Structure 1
């Protein structure tokens, strides 16, 4: 009887890995809802706001670090601790997904806040 060749990961496992969901390695999923983001930040995660300067000035979470999306690769590694999870936020969630992906590529455990600042506020997150 012959032994079958080692199997490759199933399609579902590959998709989960590709989209950052379902990995049991302790890392964050690619996106989280606002309630989970508040919990993560409350537990010590950094909050990175990737909106433009005028958006930041119009209101932001008091504990957030501001680095516009175009500068994430250059400035975020100097402004964030690599040993802490990072929740990335923008206005709606589109730019934060891109920012979180860039950070994951740089070795950070990063996730995007789905729904952006509006969701943060609706969930009870402070804004000043």
Structure 2
């Protein structure tokens, strides 16, 4: 069982003690992401566990598939992690704030 939350269950603004972990690829991150999120692509996660903060993690990807895989792995490692069902698509649809790294208005790709 993968711990999962929908966008309606995520406080706005995000509470202290919660870190967003974005497991999307670099190009997706550059187009739009949650400000303050930690970016570690899914395939890099096993090698970068030491880069994760010790807070609870809200794990996000585009729609929730990759983040569910990440949460399954993280929970096996004893890390407190929750998958955001619907991912960045639902985040953007809920008009939650995003930033970009490419000088363009943020968007989900």
TM-score using structure 1 length? 0.70
After TM superposition, where is structure 1 displaced by more than 4 Å over at least 4 residues in a row?
none
1:38 and 1:120 in contact (8 A); partners too: no
How many Å separate the matches in 2 of 1:69 and 1:50?
A: 5
Relative distance call for 1:41 and 1:103 in structure 2 (3 A) is farther
Unaligned 5+ segments in structure 1 are 1-18, 21-29
Unaligned 5+ segments in structure 2 are 100-109
Partner of 1:79: 51
How many Å separate the matches in 1 of 2:77 and 2:14?
A: 20
Larger radius of gyration: 1
TM-score using structure 2 length? 0.81
How many Å separate the matches in 1 of 2:6 and 2:85?
A: 5
Query: Is 1:119 aligned with 2:62?
Result: no
How many Å separate the matches in 1 of 2:85 and 2:18?
A: 16
- 1:31-76 CA-partner distances (Å, limit 9, x unpaired): 100132345932421100000000001100011100000011111x
- CA-based RMSD of the aligned residues comes to 1.7
Q: Number of matched residues?
A: 99
Determine which structure has the larger strand proportion and give its number: 2
RCO higher in structure (CA 8 A, sep ≥6): 2
- 1:4-48 CA-partner distances (Å, limit 9, x unpaired): xxxxxxxxxxxxxxx15xxxxxxxxx1100132345932421100
